[in-house]
């Protein structure tokens, strides 16, 4: 994604629903044994387990991800996030001295980006950054906790990242990235570069499964949400109604809107693959009806939120007290979600990015 200039979020605000005002961060806590946090992908994408949760009855089922075609029906529409993870992590030093670690948050143009920058002392505008890969960048400005930089030279930043950058594995994967992660921390349909974290629900799909679903009459649509590093930031406020989401860039095209309308008219379900697809669709419908949307979103979905578009959700397991877990609880019910997570822990499901998945139908 490129943008002619960085500017603050100008989208339609979506405050948490009033019914979430009594909920606290601790209401979304669960105990997770560390050994259940998946550190590596399985040998095959579709080999993961699939926990089903019926949003009406609360019934749970233990299945395999390869069973997904049995849970879908002709006329359903799967909505995927086609963002592509960029090798966004770089290392170097300030020209004035001191090591730095740089994580690209958003590419603004061929030469400019917003980055997270870790250093013993923050650089000032005009400061020069010397990257270990052999190129340099200048700090143009600071925007709260992000720095705007410009890469020196003629090569586009995305080209340099693909050549020299490291895959930005989540902080709970406690190992260095490998060559395997270049492929496996990426969906098979990723095509829009700009994310610094994968839309992990999509990691379970291989091309054979996509083809099998298409042959069954299940349609496919693609939105874009460039996942930012803020997806891993913990909720720090006590009342979840006080939480402010980090902005992320989305694109919901007119074609996707048409596909959703067609599915609804023929009685099919709109099934979001991942919480990012949910956020994109629900943002595009936040003015009352689904319409094309390109820009930023801060939409926050917590229990009490009324879903306008999504009928079912495929998602991985999420961090305790996270906004993603709150979104799932908004969709499936607070008590039902925590019950499902307790079941997943008891049954030794694998958690987080390289972990297992859930298929959830709405309330």
Domain ranges of the chain: 18-85+181-361, 89-164
The average pLDDT across 14-43 equals 84
Q: What is the 3-state secondary structure (H, E, C) of 51-87?
A: EEEECCCCCEEEEEHHHHHHHCCCCCEEEEECEEECC
Give helix 323-332 / helix 275-284 axis angle, nearest 10°: 70
Q: What is the mean pLDDT of the chain?
A: 92
The average pLDDT across 29-56 equals 96
The average pLDDT across 73-102 equals 96
pLDDT (tens digit per residue) in 178-226: 999 999 999 999 999 999 999 999 999 999 999 999 999 999 999 999 9
Looking at residue 194, the DSSP 8-state letter turns out to be E
Pairing status of strand 146-151 against strand 136-143: antiparallel
Instruction: Provide the residue count of the chain.
Output: 363
pLDDT (tens digit per residue) in 218-242: 999 999 999 998 777 789 999 998 9
- % of the chain beyond a pLDDT of 90: 88
Q: Is residue 12 scored above 70 in pLDDT?
A: no
What's the confidence (pLDDT) of residue 114?
95
Q: Is residue 94 scored above 60 in pLDDT?
A: yes
What's the confidence (pLDDT) of residue 63?
98
Q: Is residue 1 scored above 70 in pLDDT?
A: no
**What is the H or E stretch that residue 103 is in?**
strand 99-107
Q: Is residue 4 scored above 80 in pLDDT?
A: no
What's the confidence (pLDDT) of residue 13?
37
Residue 52, token pair as written in the block? 């089903």
Distance CA 267, CA 263 (A): 6
Q: Is residue 282 scored above 80 in pLDDT?
A: yes
At the second CATH level, the architecture of 89-164 is: Beta Barrel (2.40)
Give CATH superfamily name and number for 18-85+181-361.
QueA-like (3.40.1780.10)
More confident residue, 162 or 1: 162
Pairing status of strand 219-226 against strand 77-81: parallel
Q: Is residue 350 scored above 90 in pLDDT?
A: yes
Q: Is residue 276 scored above 70 in pLDDT?
A: yes
More confident residue, 6 or 230: 230
């Amino acid at each position: 994604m490129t943008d002619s200039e960085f500017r603050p979020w100008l989208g339609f605000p979506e405050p948490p629903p009033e019914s979430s005002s009594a909920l606290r961060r601790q209401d979304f806590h669960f105990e997770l044994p560390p050994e259940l946090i998946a550190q590596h992908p399985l040998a095959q994408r579709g080999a993961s387990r699939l926990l089903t949760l019926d949003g009406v009855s609360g019934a749970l089922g233990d299945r395999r991800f390869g069973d997904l075609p049995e849970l879908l029906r002709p006329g359903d529409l799967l909505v995927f996030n086609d963002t592509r993870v960029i090798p966004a992590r770089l290392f170097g030093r300030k020209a004035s001295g001191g090591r730095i670690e740089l994580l690209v948050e958003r590419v603004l143009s061929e030469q400019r980006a917003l980055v997270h920058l870790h250093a013993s002392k923050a650089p000032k505008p005009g400061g020069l950054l010397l990257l270990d890969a052999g190129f340099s960048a200048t700090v143009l400005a600071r925007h709260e906790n992000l720095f705007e930089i410009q890469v020196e030279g003629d090569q586009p930043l995305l080209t340099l990242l693909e050549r020299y950058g490291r895959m930005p594995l989540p902080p709970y994967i406690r190992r260095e990235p490998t060559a395997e992660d270049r492929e496996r921390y990426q969906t098979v349909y990723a095509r829009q570069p700009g994310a610094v974290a994968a839309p992990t629900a999509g990691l379970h799909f291989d091309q054979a499964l996509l083809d099998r679903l298409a042959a069954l009459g299940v349609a496919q649509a693609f939105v874009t949400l460039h996942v930012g590093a803020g997806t891993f930031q913990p909720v720090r406020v006590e009342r979840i109604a006080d939480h402010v989401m980090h902005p992320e860039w989305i694109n919901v095209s007119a074609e996707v809107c048409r596909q959703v309308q067609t599915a609804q008219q023929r009685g099919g379900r709109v099934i979001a693959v991942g919480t990012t697809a949910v956020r994109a669709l629900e943002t595009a419908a936040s003015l009352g009806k689904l319409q094309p949307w390109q820009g930023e979103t801060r939409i926050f979905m917590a229990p009490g939120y009324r879903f306008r578009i999504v009928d079912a959700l495929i998602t991985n397991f999420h961090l305790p007290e996270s906004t993603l877990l709150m979104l799932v609880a908004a969709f499936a019910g607070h008590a039902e979600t925590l019950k499902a997570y307790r079941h997943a822990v008891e049954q030794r499901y694998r958690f987080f990015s390289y972990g297992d998945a859930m298929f959830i139908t709405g309330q």
